């Protein structure tokens, strides 16, 4: 049936090379051709199944926590739908199961077009289930679903995630840093421009384009304070959506890094010394905070957060103590501090929010390698459930 929208392959007899070439380009540009010597068949679809592994010890330390494998579907399924079949993987190779009972289940939770493979190919983000279909202990997404009670849903919580990351070259040196030495001290690099100020922009641009093509809610990028360090922002989005989009944006970054010869890490403090660490500031609001006089709800939320500081810190990323030193735009890990426009605070109220008397707060504590589903769950739990 040539009337469908999503991609076709052509098989048949080709009398000369030109005919073959034009047929191939017709397929690539999705042009369905009917009749003649061509028999039209649906183009097989590549579905990249993506999930978070259980390699706790390695998280953020050069190795990232994403895994994926490809399923070829002879009958394409629409990107965006959740009709993709469940699949399984060897959990004993990802830190998620014992060798003797190793099958874990991949359950699709979010799908979108694959911006790298193009055509009708898709990315399939999955949650991990045990063989008996109960959620796996690494399945932090499901734990959010558990607390989305009607009163929480009524608050229409929104999250904006600022994902910082650091680029490394194949020799495990920060990308673009001079061989055997250091760049100029920090100062000129944040939001910089020019060959001497920023390193790795082609990957950043390719990644931003890929996120946009995939339909992710990416809201911007910038070069960071340490050269070779960058940030992208996802949001504002709901508590599940923000995590889904962050996970896929992380996967796309690692995947594109392969093509650019760059390893991106979410290590909280990749370089010791006078160099900024990498965080994941999380901007958060409820309906009440966004409405007239919402600043009162923002202060009430900060008061509640101050009482659960240690609990949040314990979940905010491995190795975060090397980053939250009280220097380099952080508050010390043992201190809870809030303030307007204060980049040395645990929680910052942006200046515009303070002036308008409504809006959102920024939790500056999460490390770059934090699990985004954990941050949104804890913010909801602390501010709306106790
Ligand atoms: P910073 O000045 O801290 O670098 P950014 O511009 O990088 O801030 O990020 C701010 C983030 O706040 C954006 O990603 C945006 O999606 C998010 N944001 C804006 N308004 C809200 C809101 N009402 N609730 C939650 N997040 C919000
Ligand atoms: Mn990581
Ligand atoms: Mn930012
Ligand atoms: Mn930043
Ligand atoms: Mn910020």
C-alpha 266 to ligand 2 mean position (Å): 5
* Token pair belonging to 379: 């913010």
199 or 99: whose pLDDT is higher?
199
pLDDT at 89: 87
pLDDT at 386: 78
For range 245-272, the mean pLDDT: 96
Please tell me whether the interface predicted TM-score (ipTM) of this complex is above 0.85: yes
pLDDT at 63: 56
Is there an atom of ligand 1 within 6 Å of 233 CB? yes
Pocket residue to mutate for ligand 1, from 155, 156, 162, 229, most atoms within 8 A of Cβ: 162
* 296 Cβ contact partners less than 8 Å away, ≥ 6 residues apart: none
Is there an atom of ligand 1 within 6 Å of 288 CB? no
pLDDT in tens, 116-142: 999 999 999 999 999 999 999 889 999
Structural contact between residues 136 and 128, judged by C-beta atoms closer than 8 angstroms:
yes
Q: Whose CA is nearest to atom 7 of ligand 1?
A: 162
Query: Within 13 Å of residue 2, how many CA atoms lie on the same side as its CB?
Result: 11
For range 375-381, the mean pLDDT: 98
Angstrom distance (rounded) from CA 95 to CA 114? 27
Phi, psi for 231 (deg, rounded to 5) = -140, 140
pLDDT-derived band at 277 (thresholds 50, 70, 90) equals very high
Query: Within 13 Å of residue 119, how many CA atoms lie on the same side as its CB?
Result: 21
60 or 290: whose pLDDT is higher?
290
pLDDT-derived band at 11 (thresholds 50, 70, 90) equals very low
pLDDT in tens, 76-86: 999 999 999 99
pLDDT in tens, 165-213: 999 999 989 999 999 889 999 999 999 999 999 999 999 999 999 999 9
Structural contact between residues 132 and 361, judged by C-beta atoms closer than 8 angstroms:
no
pLDDT at 64: 63
Q: How far is CA 153 from the centre of its chain?
A: 23
Q: How many secondary structure helices (H) and strands (E) does the chain include?
A: 10, 15
Is there an atom of ligand 1 within 6 Å of 162 CB? yes
Is there an atom of ligand 1 within 6 Å of 283 CB? yes
**Does 103 score more than 50 pLDDT?**
yes
The model's pTM is 0.89
In angstroms, the first-to-last Cα distance of the chain is: 56
């Amino acid at each position: 049936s040539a009337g469908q929208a999503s991609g076709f392959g052509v098989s048949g007899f080709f009398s000369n090379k030109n005919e073959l070439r034009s047929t191939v380009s017709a397929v690539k540009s999705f042009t369905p051709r009917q009749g003649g010597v061509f028999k039209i068949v649906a183009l097989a679809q590549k579905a990249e199944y993506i999930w978070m592994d259980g390699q706790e010890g390695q998280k953020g330390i050069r190795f990232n926590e994403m895994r994926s494998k490809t399923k070829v579907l002879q009958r394409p399924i629409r990107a965006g739908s959740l009709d993709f079949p469940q699949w399984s993987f060897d959990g004993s190779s990802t830190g998620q199961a014992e060798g003797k009972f190793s099958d874990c289940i991949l359950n699709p939770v979010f799908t979108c077009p694959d911006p790298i493979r193009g055509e009708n190919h898709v990315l399939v983000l999955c949650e991990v289930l045990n063989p008996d279909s109960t959620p796996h202990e690494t399945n932090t997404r499901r734990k959010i679903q558990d607390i989305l009670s009607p009163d929480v849903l009524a608050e229409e919580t929104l999250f904006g995630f600022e994902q910082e990351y650091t680029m490394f070259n194949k020799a495990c040196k920060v990308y673009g840093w001079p061989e055997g030495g250091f760049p100029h001290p920090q100062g000129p690099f944040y939001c910089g421009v020019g060959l001497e100020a920023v390193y790795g922009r082609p990957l950043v641009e390719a990644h931003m384009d890929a996120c946009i093509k995939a339909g992710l809610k990416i809201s911007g990028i910038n070069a960071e304070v340490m050269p070779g360090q960058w940030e992208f922002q996802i949001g504002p989005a709901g508590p599940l959506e923000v995590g889904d989009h962050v996970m896929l944006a992380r996967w796309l970054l690692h995947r594109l890094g392969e093509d650019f010869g760059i390893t991106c890490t979410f290590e909280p403090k990749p370089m010791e010394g006078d160099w900024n660490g990498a965080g994941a500031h999380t901007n958060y609001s409820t309906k009440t905070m966004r409405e007239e006089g919402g600043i009162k709800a923002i202060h009430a939320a900060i008061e509640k957060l101050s009482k659960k500081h240690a609990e949040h810190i314990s979940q905010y990323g491995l190795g975060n103590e090397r980053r939250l030193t009280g220097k380099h735009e952080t508050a010390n890990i043992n201190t809870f501090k809030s303030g307007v426009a204060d980049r040395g605070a645990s929680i910052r109220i942006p200046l515009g929010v303070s002036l308008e008397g409504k809006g959102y707060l920024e939790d500056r504590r999460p490390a770059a390698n934090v699990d985004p589903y954990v941050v949104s769950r804890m913010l909801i739990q602390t501010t709306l459930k106790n």
